[in-house]
Structure 1
């Protein structure tokens, strides 16, 4: 009996693993579609868009700090920042404490664009939540946190 139950559980687990993979793939594709839409809507490559959003409550960021937050190399950040400078969305100044370090800050235009992007994303997520009733929202958010924790735990095993 235990062997049969184990087999049924393995079959169920295999099905669930495949379904999880499919659902995550579909959600990732939906996110990719949204990213493409955002790049078109805001007229920015997605890397530049993400960089603008990093400033949030920060007055200044460094290339090193941006690289760490975006998980890219510093040379990639330099290219992103240069693109934003050309568009008038960020500016660079020397760090008063160390002239070798450049501080990057949003221009007024960059602050406006950043607020516009953040508001768009917030409204998008709000619209998703409005398609669910209050109990479903609570459950979904709770289960997403649980899923994220499980994914992080498995990721740690890979490293």
Structure 2
């Protein structure tokens, strides 16, 4: 189940992030809260059996541009994609269809907002997973090394 983030969720979100990512990719709670403030209706925690097992931070952004890590962002009037900034699941949340629910919900928002795509940067070899969900690797001009050596910008076009 998806639900909006509550103030009491932040310690659990920080724990999940620390469990799922290497130190170089960990963002402060303040930076994650900034992402939530950009699009609170696109940021969620995942619950399974009454436990928080993951989270998602998504926000409008400019297609073919990956936002920097570790920095607060300002709203962008030129946004043309819904950017999945971070999706993390603990092992007990995997295989429950939570990401499929998330993508369905975010696609609806994306269509209503008239954005052309969903986009993300896949890290640590996760591009294979995202390809199975309809995302296609794309070349962009930005150096993605801050995301790790296997980082790949990806897009999922929305058809009418």
TM range (shorter): under 0.3
Q: Which has the larger radius of gyration?
A: 1
- TM-score normalized with structure 1 length: 0.25
- Going by fraction, where is strand more abundant, 1 or 2? 2
Higher RCO (Cα < 8 Å, 6 or more apart): 2
- Going by fraction, where is helix more abundant, 1 or 2? 1
